[in-house]
Amino acid sequence: MKILSAEYVIPISGPMIFDGAVAIENGEIIDVGQEEELLKRYPDAEHEDYSHHAILPGLINAHAHIDLSLYKNYPGDPVRNAGVKVNYIDWLLGLLKYKHSVDFAHLREAVEKGLDECVQSGTTCIAEMGNYEGIFSILEQKGLRGVVFPEVMSFDSTFSKDLFESAMAIVEKYQEEDSDLITVGMGPYAPYLLSRNILRLMAQYCRSSNLPLMMHVSGTFSEMEFFHNSTGDIASKLFPDLGWEELPPAHRRTPVEHLKEIGFLDCQPILVNCIQTTEKDLDLIAQTGSKIVITPRCGHNMQQGQPNFKKIDEKKIFTALGTDGLSTVDTLSLWDEMRAFVEFNLSLSLTGERVLKMVTSHAAQVLGLGEEVGTLEIGKQADLIVVDVSSVKTEGDFLMNLIQMVHDYHIHIVMVRGEILKSVN
């Protein structure tokens, strides 16, 4: 048994504990409380004290493309060409070509680099949406927790069926694996890159198998234009470039309305982006119990805008933050993502606690891991971080001050299931 104590313990599930401690045994949290009380309760426990530090739940990245960590200099690169005007469809075409040409050695290097960066910034769980099956073994080797969503994208019905069956085979293979750290879902890329029949099949499969389902939805105006009128860049650029000759008829509805109509929302999917949404869209998402992941820096860099978080919050939709990948942002740090989220929502007077929940407890709920991680509570897995807070101002909102201050070098301990992944003396 081990006891970690610090000046602050931030359980997320309850009030901050001053001079607090967390007791860990066999990778599980068995007690949380005052340091003095826990030391009396467990006199034989190994004790590690971190003065001027805070203990928090490990951060959860609810949407990432780790396999794109070496993807650079594509058309309209918003990261390495500051201020460039991004055409989303040009960017997507570059992405598709990259995915068709990259080799496995390159992908492995990208995944290892990306996961190492995540650990350095205090991320202990990652929702990865990608095509590299090797990420399962790399996550296990590095000791990280993950939810892997094999990515499926194609509008051609025959090719879509092959991709769907391949993704289903991966899902079934890793469902049978007895892993305490890795779970699996399905990841259709976007509603305009897959036929309605394939989307319906995927939703039915995930619902019957109790699997999480994640998809980018309503991220751009061009997507809204396509689903309403069957016009715009998706029709005039994407389809011809991919050799898709036949355009679908105008749906005269939003992407979210389309997904509701075909039964996709019935499996309570995780919808990434939701930037171009109407009031009715958000009502449909709330009514079906679907969830949202916001990627603020990606939306800003790609000039897509930001979701209406005020409305999302009013409708009590479970919402988490993700970083997307290094093709659209310059770091995989959730601290950078939280700071950007606060900056883009200054009018809402957000609290630090509310923002931290989006990368801890709410992120865990979105990914279906709420019973295991996301808070420091008895019975939860010992996924936690120890952060140097010696420079954090104590006046005002301490947790918001923490968010604004923390960088990789402030993260001194990263732990998953009681195993240390990062330690700074």
pLDDT for residue 11 is more than 60? yes
- Mean pLDDT value across residues 64-73: 90
- Report in angstroms the alpha-carbon separations of 296 from 115, 198, 320, 321, 343: 20, 29, 11, 8, 10
- Mean pLDDT value across residues 366-387: 98
pLDDT for residue 83 is more than 80? no
Q: Detail the DSSP E strand segments found in 304-417.
A: 319-321, 384-388, 411-416
Rounded-to-integer distance, Cα 406 and Cα 247, Å: 48
Rounded-to-integer distance, Cα 156 and Cα 148, Å: 24
Lowest mean pLDDT among 14-28, 159-173, 247-261: 159-173
State the DSSP string of 36-80.
Answer: HHHHHH-TTSEEEEEEEEEEEEPEEEEEE-GGGTT--S-TT-TTT
Q: Detail the DSSP E strand segments found in 58-206.
A: 59-64, 123-130, 145-152, 182-184, 187-188
pLDDT for residue 256 is more than 80? yes
**Taking the model in full, what pTM does it have?**
0.97
| H/E stretch holding 201 | helix 196-209
Rounded-to-integer distance, Cα 242 and Cα 210, Å: 33
- Please give the mean pLDDT across all residues of the chain: 93
Which part of the chain has CATH 3.20.20.140? 59-366
Residues 6+ apart with CB under 8 A from 83: none
**380: exposed, middle or buried (C-beta count within 10 Å: 0-12, 13-18, 19+)?**
buried
Please say whether the beta carbons of 277 and 257 come within 8 A. Answer: no
| Residue that is written with structure tokens 């004790």 in the block | 47
The CATH topology of domain 2-57+375-423 is Urease, subunit C; domain 1 (2.30.40)
- Mean pLDDT value across residues 104-122: 97
pLDDT of residue 47: 98
Proportion of the chain in helix, strand, coil states, percent, rounded to 5: 40, 25, 35
3-class secondary structure, 20: strand
Single-letter code of the amino acid located at 125? C
- Mean pLDDT value across residues 215-230: 96
| Residue that is written with structure tokens 């679908």 in the block | 248
CATH number of 59-366: 3.20.20.140
What is the per-residue pLDDT across 280-325, written as a single tens digit (0 to 9) for each? Answer: 999 999 999 999 999 999 999 999 999 999 999 999 999 999 999 9
Reported as a pLDDT band with limits 50, 70 and 90, residue 159 is: low
Please say whether the beta carbons of 198 and 168 come within 8 A. Answer: no
- Specify the pairing of strand 46-57 against strand 384-388: antiparallel
- Specify the pairing of strand 123-130 against strand 145-152: parallel
Which tokens belong to 114? 């990306």
pLDDT of residue 55: 99
Rounded-to-integer distance, Cα 391 and Cα 129, Å: 36
Residues 6+ apart with CB under 8 A from 237: 89, 90, 93
Rounded-to-integer distance, Cα 233 and Cα 88, Å: 9
The partner residues of 17 in beta bridges, in order of sequence, read 9
Reported as a pLDDT band with limits 50, 70 and 90, residue 176 is: confident
- Report in angstroms the alpha-carbon separations of 162 from 107, 158, 188, 240, 263: 22, 7, 13, 21, 22
pLDDT of residue 218: 98
Which part of the chain has CATH 2.30.40.10? 2-57+375-423
Rounded-to-integer distance, Cα 302 and Cα 292, Å: 19
Could you give the angle at which helices 334-344 and 398-405 cross, rounded to 10 degrees? 120
Please say whether the beta carbons of 403 and 338 come within 8 A. Answer: yes
Percentage of the chain lying above the pLDDT 90 cut? 81
- Mean pLDDT value across residues 215-220: 97
pLDDT for residue 365 is more than 90? yes
Backbone phi, psi, residue 33, to 5°: 175, -155
- Mean pLDDT value across residues 140-153: 94
- Mean pLDDT value across residues 328-343: 97
Rounded-to-integer distance, Cα 348 and Cα 370, Å: 26
Lowest mean pLDDT among 75-79, 330-334, 369-373: 75-79
Q: Of the candidates 33, 28, 62, 128, which has an alpha carbon nearest to the alpha carbon of residue 357?
A: 62
3-class secondary structure, 103: coil
pLDDT for residue 85 is more than 90? no
Rounded-to-integer distance, Cα 145 and Cα 361, Å: 15
pLDDT of residue 84: 73
pLDDT of residue 75: 64
**294: exposed, middle or buried (C-beta count within 10 Å: 0-12, 13-18, 19+)?**
buried
Q: Of the candidates 320, 311, 194, 313, which has an alpha carbon nearest to the alpha carbon of residue 264?
A: 194
Q: Which residue has the higher pLDDT, 352 or 167?
A: 352
pLDDT of residue 161: 64
pLDDT for residue 149 is more than 90? yes
pLDDT of residue 241: 87
Residues 6+ apart with CB under 8 A from 99: 131
Reported as a pLDDT band with limits 50, 70 and 90, residue 76 is: low
Reported as a pLDDT band with limits 50, 70 and 90, residue 160 is: low
